[in-house]
Structures are given as C-alpha cells and as structure tokens.
Amino acid sequence: MTLDFSWLADPLYQQWLLRGLGTTILMSLLGIVLMFIIGIAGAACIHFRLPVLETLTTILVELFRNTPPLVQLFFLYFMLSEIGLTLTDSATGRSIPLFSGFTCVVLSLGLYNGAIAVEIIRSGLLAVPSQTVEGARSLGYSRLQTFRHVELPIGLRMSIPAMTNNVVSLIKTSSQAVLVAVADIMYGATQIMLETFRNLEVMILIWIIYVVIASLAVVAARRIAAAVRIPGYGM
Amino acid sequence: MTPDQQVRPLIELQGVHKSFGSFPVLKGVSLSVQDGGVVCIIGPSGSGKSTILRCINGLTPIDRGTIRVGSFAVETLKSDKDLVPLRHQVAMVFQQYNLFPHRTVLQNLTMAPIQVLGEDPTQVRERALSLLAKVRLTGKEAAYPGELSGGQQQRVAIARALAMQPRVILFDEVTAALDPEMVSEVLSVIRDLAREGMTCVLVTHEMRFAEEVADEVFFTDRGVIVEHGPPSTIFKAPGDERLKSFLEKVL
C-alpha cells in the first residue's frame, strides 16, 4: 500500500479545504457562544428555581442531552425549512431561507452542547461553598448580585475542565454539517474523495486537522484556566 | 442624645421562636443590647447561640416574636431590597471566615460597599486601606484569602465587616476554627473594637475573653436564655445549675 498525497498540490482542493476549515471554525465559535449563553441562562433558571422556567429547562435539557445530535440537526433542518421562513435579499430581490444549513448547524450545536453545558455549570454552582454565599448575603448582596459577583465567577472556574470536554465535543460534532450540505472541512474532504478516490489519504488529513483544532481548543482552555486560577483555592 | 434614646437598646429580641423542621431551636428568646455595648452569648453546642445571631441580621427568618435593630423591625423585612439597609448596619463575621476566594484581600473589603451600597470607589479604597492597617494586614492587599493563615483570613473578615461602616458586628464563634496561637491575634482586634465603642455581639467559647470584654453575658441552653448578667456574676457567682455544670466543664 502506498499513500499518494499529490492531490494536495491542486489549488482547487487547497481552496476547498481552507474554505471548509474556515466554515468549521466559524460554526464552532458561534456554537460555543450559543452554548455558553444557553448554559448560563439554563443553569440560572434551575439555580433560582424560577417557576415554570425551571421545569421547562429541565425537560429541554433532557430532550437535547439524551437524543443523538444528528437526529436533532435533521429535525431542526427539516422542521425549519417546512415552516419556510424566508427573508428577501434587498440587493438581488431573491428570497432566501432564513434558516440555512449553516444556521441550523450552529443552532443544533448550541442546543445539544448547551444542554450539557447547563448541567456542567449547574454542578459548578453547586460546588460553591454555602459559607461563601452566606458571606455575600450578610453583606447585603441580593440573590441576583450574589449570583453575578460570587457564585457565577467561582462556579464557572470550577466547571472549566468539564466544559473543555464539551467544547471539544462541539467541534467534533460540527462535522455533521456535511449532511445538511454545509461546505465545512468534511464537505471539502468528501468532494475531494469523490474526484480523486484517495479516500484513505484524505481521511488521514482530515483526522490530523481535527486533532489540531481540538488540541488548540484544549490549549486555549488551559490558558484561560491558568489566567483565572484562584491562588490558594486548590484549583 | 436624648434620655429616651439612652435607655432604648440598639437591639431588642422579644419572645423569639424558631424551629428547623419539627426541631425547636429557639423557644422564646428575649435579650437586648445597648448601643456601644459588648454582649457575649455562651452555652453548650446546639443551644441556639448561632441561630440568635443569624436571626438578628435576617439570615434566618423567625417563626414568632419580634426583633428590633435600631429602627428596623427585622421580622418584617422579607425582600432582598428591604434587607440591604439592615445589613448595612449589622455586619457579621463567621467561624469559617466566608471570604470571597476569587477576589484579593483589598477587593474583599471594597466589593460590598461599592456593589451593594453604591459608594465612591476611591473613598472606599482609602477606607479599606486604613482598615487593613487597623487589623495589622498592611502589605497583604493583593494577596488572595487562600494564601493567608486562618488568623489573617479572620482579620480580613473583620475588616470586611467594618468596611460596611456598621453600627453592630455579630461575631459567630470567630476563633473556633483557629490554631491557639492565632486566636489571640483575632481576639486583640475584637478587643480594640469593643474599646472604641463598637456594639458587638459575640457567640464564643473563649470564656476568659468573654469575662474580660463583655458588659453582659447571656447563657443559653436548649433554646432558652437560662441566665444573664454582668460577667462577674455569671462567671463568679452563677445561680443556675445548668450554668454551673457548663462552667465547670469549660473553665
């Protein structure tokens, strides 16, 4: 068996891969932002035991955490296109679907990993000592102020290791974008395979690219953890 | 000060009842603290000493009775917003320090006055620095609580309470978690405060300290105040049998 990577010299393939890589990174970043918004908002709903919202959050978390992300993506993609929300491009006058494959992937990543993030952040909040909270309360902090200034800053720090896993999972899950025709890195790879039949070589490259992206994310998370470390707090 | 204000105590508890579930912790506690007075509450574990303190600043809501601190009827304050002015006047220091681990020593002092009371950060910072000097911790401004010894952390907690410029400080067994050698450094800070006229309510197991600083000592047992009086009477000529046997064990 010989490996042939000569196709890598083709500028068209390089372009597909680079554009795809950009799309993958952009989807992941947007997904991470959405994941954090959902994670913090959901954890707050449960933490404050907000009527209705607490139950609703718990149900949604179970729903999104316990079903395959691919099923969720297809469901979102077909449901939203069925609803058929469109917006009109003011320049061309063309009608374009509001929920493109790209939007659906970002939403799906945000919801799936966001549901897991809710539980991760919640466990971080539970790890904040009740004495620390009481100290804040005795100084006149309201429940909301205590959450914002004391519980969340400490709880988020405690959730960094578990959240790193979740971010890596999100980056990997983004590869299913290819199945709703989003031109991400996997999409580029599939195209190249169809044209060159160098399936193994292409997959080796894709494998390496994902390892690199995920490793960079892990390194970034470690940097953040080191930067916000609480001296003398055993973290 | 009018004569009326002189006789009216700063803190007054009357017939305070509190149960945790079906377990009654306080069964009709009445006590009063004069402005500038130093009161010590002593008694066996589980007799409700800490609960009394926690009721005074509204951390633990009561079932029955009245608590008045200055012009506040504590049992009527329910919302966070109502409790802010009370907690401005009544500060608390805890056995486990309860500092903010993710903030520096200086920030621990300045956070609440700025974030809760909305005071000017520059003024608060100046006040915080002089308070750190007062508790002999100058130079530790940038340290984090986790980097300090227990005695130092507890002195930060006292300074943090003082930064709110309260009228009363409640001390809840503040030396119970400390090594013997650190106890004295914390007690000397409290002694200074008491001498300067700060109203202090202390729950303590340091009987000699209570005897030294207190104007009045309350002995609690099983949710009631069994005996109270000046330290000379309580420690030298106790009347109640339970107090006698308690003092025999701890002195």
Residue pLDDT, tens place only, A179-191: 998 999 999 999 9
User: Within the 143-202 window of chain A, which residues sit less than 8 Å (CB to CB) from chain B?
Assistant: 143-145, 149-150, 153-154, 157
Residue A207 lies in a domain: yes
pLDDT at position B1 is 45
**Cβ contact, residue pair A233, B96, below 8 Å:** no
Residue pLDDT, tens place only, B42-62: 999 889 999 999 999 999 999
Residue pLDDT, tens place only, B161-189: 999 999 999 999 999 989 988 999 999 99
Identify the residue among A125, A139, A156 best suited for mutation to test binding to B, counting B beta carbons within 10 A and taking the highest.
Answer: A139
Residue A85 lies in a domain: no
Residue A39 lies in a domain: yes
Chain A residues close to B160, C-beta within 8 Å: 139
Residue B188 at interface with chain A, using a CB cutoff of 8 Å: no
Residue of B nearest to A154 (CA): B102
Q: pLDDT category, A154, cuts 50, 70, 90?
A: very high
Residue of A nearest to B79 (CA): A142
Residue B112 at interface with chain A, using a CB cutoff of 8 Å: yes
pLDDT beyond 60 at B3: no
Pick B11-100+166-248's CATH classification: 3.40.50.300, 3.10.129.10, 1.20.1530.20, 3.40.190.10: 3.40.50.300
Average pLDDT over residues B204-226: 94
Domain count, chain A: 1
Phi/psi for B177 (5° steps) reads -100, 10
Q: pLDDT category, B94, cuts 50, 70, 90?
A: very high
| Between A181 and A169, residue with greater pLDDT | A169
DSSP states along chain A: -----GGGG-HHHHHHHHHHHHHHHHHHHHHHHHHHHHHHHHHHHHHTT-TTHHHHHHHHHHHHHSS-HHHHHHHHHHHHHHHT-EEE-TTT--EEESS-HHHHHHHHHHHHHHHHHHHHHHHHHHTS-HHHHHHHHHTT--HHHHIIIIIHHHHHHHTHHHHHHHHHHHHHHGGGGGGGT--SHHHHHHHHHHHH--HHHHHHHHHHHHHHHHHHHHHHHHHHHHHT--TTS--
Chain B residues close to A132, C-beta within 8 Å: 98-101
**Cβ contact, residue pair B100, A135, below 8 Å:** yes
Residue A231 at interface with chain B, using a CB cutoff of 8 Å: yes
pLDDT at position B6 is 54
Residue pLDDT, tens place only, A99-117: 788 999 999 999 999 999 9
**Cβ contact, residue pair B100, A136, below 8 Å:** yes
Residue B146 has its nearest CB partner, among A141, A142, A233, at A233
Residue A89 lies in a domain: no
Residue A169 lies in a domain: yes
**Cβ contact, residue pair B80, A153, below 8 Å:** no
Residue A105 lies in a domain: yes
pLDDT at position A202 is 95
Residue A70 lies in a domain: yes
Joined tokens for residue A174? 């983004």
Q: What percent of chain A has pLDDT over 70?
A: 97
Chain A residues close to B98, C-beta within 8 Å: 131-132, 134-135, 138
Chain A residues close to B57, C-beta within 8 Å: 138
Domain of A62, CATH number, reads 1.10.3720.10
pLDDT beyond 90 at A199: yes
Q: Which domain holds residue A213?
A: 20-77+97-228
**Cβ contact, residue pair A154, B83, below 8 Å:** no
| Between B46 and B126, residue with greater pLDDT | B126
pLDDT at position A235 is 58
Q: What percent of chain B has pLDDT over 90?
A: 90
Residue B92 at interface with chain A, using a CB cutoff of 8 Å: yes
From B67, B27, B16, select the one nearest B222 (Cα to Cα).
B27
**Cβ contact, residue pair B91, A149, below 8 Å:** no
| ipTM of this predicted structure | 0.90
Residue A84 lies in a domain: no
Residue of A nearest to B93 (CA): A135
pLDDT beyond 80 at A93: no
Residue B76 has what DSSP assignment?
A: G
**Cβ contact, residue pair B91, A150, below 8 Å:** no
**Cβ contact, residue pair B102, A153, below 8 Å:** yes
Residue A231 has its nearest CB partner, among B92, B116, B147, at B147
